[in-house]
Amino acid sequence: MKKLKIQVQKIDPKALAEVSCDVLLTAVPSLKKLPKNWPGNLRSAVTKGFKAGMVQDSDGALLQLPAPTGFKARRLIVLRQDLKAPHHELAKPLHRALALAASSRAAAWWAPEPGALDVLVRSAQTQTYRYTHGKKNPVARLEQIKLIGPERPSRREAEFGRAVGCGQNLMRELSELPGNVCTPEYLARRARTLGGQYRQLTAKVHTPTQLKRLKMNTLLQVGLGSGHPPRLIELHYKGAGRGRPIVLVGKGITFDTGGISLKPGAKMDEMKFDMSGAAAVFGAMLACAEAEIRSPVIGLIAAAENMPDGLAGRPGDVVTTMSGKTVEILNTDAEGRLVLCDALTFAQRFKPRAVIDLATLTGACVVALGHVATGLMSNDEALAQVLLEAGQRSGDRAWQLPLWPEYRQQLHSEYADLANIGGAPAGTITAGCFLQEFAEEFPWAHLDIAGTAWPDAMGRKRSSGCAVPLLMEYLRS
């Protein structure tokens, strides 16, 4: 993993011309509020550039031009943006600005305000990532960022932002791998590798034979049609603090055809992203180690491939979960909740302070919230509020949906304790109600990232790295 080099330095604004870098970036609230202590030729170049329409985006808020005469920097990028704005308003503009600097080796950011530094460095770190599997001659990426300002920028905030960005990059890498590479076995190998990279992290993998002993029958059921059997992966982060752990549970469907309830062929290639919940857990665990979070954290990944063949599970099958509750599987394409329910039951053994699961669970969530907010459901209002606030602070927002008893009635089954689907109405909520049945022993929250896992901030069919910023803001608080 490529990690951005960070330098922090207090400098006089009049000395900006002496900053050695490939590209100098900054932000101004408006042309009327250019810093008076900037060098005169810098003020003049920025004013003329915006007035001449030398902008790089449709909003007219991003200016790129050659650095003024006498500057050691080669290029200048100026974002017309108030850095005191909420973080969710800053994330995309900063990402666009840093994308212009991505091919430079060294960038410098003039920080007129002390805030938003973690979001800035997070965005800069994500610019170091490029998908390279199966590609030759990868493009050069950003290697170093200098953080400069009239006051010394906070290294602590910068390093936290870098840790979150590293986690996002791991999530993006795993999510974007094709299904013939990223299998349950592959995720198990990556977990062991990650566990060997940090002294605070350890990994453990449960094989299909061990899953049978644990009676994780719904996880096994999902993988019946695949030549790549399921795995349950544990990642344990040992922080400096004591107390009960927070458990993160990720849906790891490495490819989802829908099984016997086969999906339409159009856009089925996107179903490699159906393990984005698991990828987010991987990313969060790496970020915990990089940021040295104090709280102990456990990541659980329920990994399986949902394929149709003669051994695959059928609609109408009744399966006994690890909890002992029975489930009638009316639709094999509602498989995410089946792997998660056994993982949630497994999480009880750790006596968790809280459990948060993440999944690209329902298309209904995309219909309800689009690609802007993650769906949040919880059996604990205090936990829900803390997560919502973490989403606001990080710019990685969530929106709460209810889990009222009336919705649970839609999961009624004539042949089992509950069905795995509840019909078309309120599909996201009934999926949450299903999971709630297996989270009765601890504070629990469910994050449906079906709409936010992809596309990315540039609108491409790429992983967004979502949920990692929200989780890390929650974990550090």
CA distances for 98 relative to 145, 312, 391, 458, angstroms? 11, 47, 22, 12
The DSSP bridge partners found for residue 248 are 299, 356
Q: Could you give the percent of the chain with pLDDT greater than 90?
A: 86
Q: Is the peptide bond before 114 cis (omega within 30 degrees of 0)?
A: no
Does 412 have pLDDT greater than 80?
yes
What distance separates the 2 farthest-apart alpha carbons in the chain? 79
Residue 134's pLDDT is: 80
pLDDT band at 138 (very low <50, low <70, confident <90, very high): low
Q: Is 337 a catalytic residue?
A: yes
Q: What is the pTM of this model?
A: 0.96
Does 115 have pLDDT greater than 90?
no
pLDDT band at 453 (very low <50, low <70, confident <90, very high): very high
Residue 17 near residue 39 (C-beta atoms within 8 A)? yes
Does 27 have pLDDT greater than 70?
yes
- CA 450 from centroid of its chain's CA atoms: 12
* Residue 135, burial from CB neighbour count under 10 angstroms (0-12, 13-18, 19+): exposed
Residue 45 near residue 17 (C-beta atoms within 8 A)? no
Size of the chain in residues? 477
Domains and CATH numbers, the chain: 5-153 (3.40.220.10), 164-476 (3.40.630.10)
Range scoring the smallest mean pLDDT among 136-140, 284-288, 340-344? 136-140
Residue 55's pLDDT is: 77
Does 289 have pLDDT greater than 70?
yes
Condensed to tens digits (0 to 9), the pLDDT of residues 293-338 reads 999 999 999 999 999 999 999 999 999 999 999 999 999 999 999 9
Which amino acid, one-letter code, is at 256? D
Main-chain phi, psi angles of 49, to 5 degrees: -60, -45
Q: Is 242 a catalytic residue?
A: no
Alpha-helix residue ranges (DSSP H) falling in 17-136: 40-51, 87-100, 117-126
Catalytic annotation, pick one of 80, 162, 337, 393: 337
pLDDT band at 133 (very low <50, low <70, confident <90, very high): confident
CA distances for 4 relative to 41, 121, 158, 169, 419, angstroms? 31, 9, 10, 12, 48
Catalytic annotation, pick one of 72, 130, 238, 263: 263
Mean of per-residue pLDDT scores for the chain? 95
Q: What gap in Å lies between CA 327 and CA 315, rounded to an integer? A: 11
User: If we measure between CA atoms, which residue out of 367, 436, 365, 429 comes closest to residue 401?
Assistant: 429
- CA 38 from centroid of its chain's CA atoms: 38
Does 280 have pLDDT greater than 80?
yes
Q: What gap in Å lies between CA 64 and CA 56, rounded to an integer? A: 7
Range scoring the smallest mean pLDDT among 105-109, 364-368, 454-458? 454-458
Residue 107's pLDDT is: 97
The owner of tokens 């936990």 is 383
Give the residue-averaged pLDDT of 70-99: 92
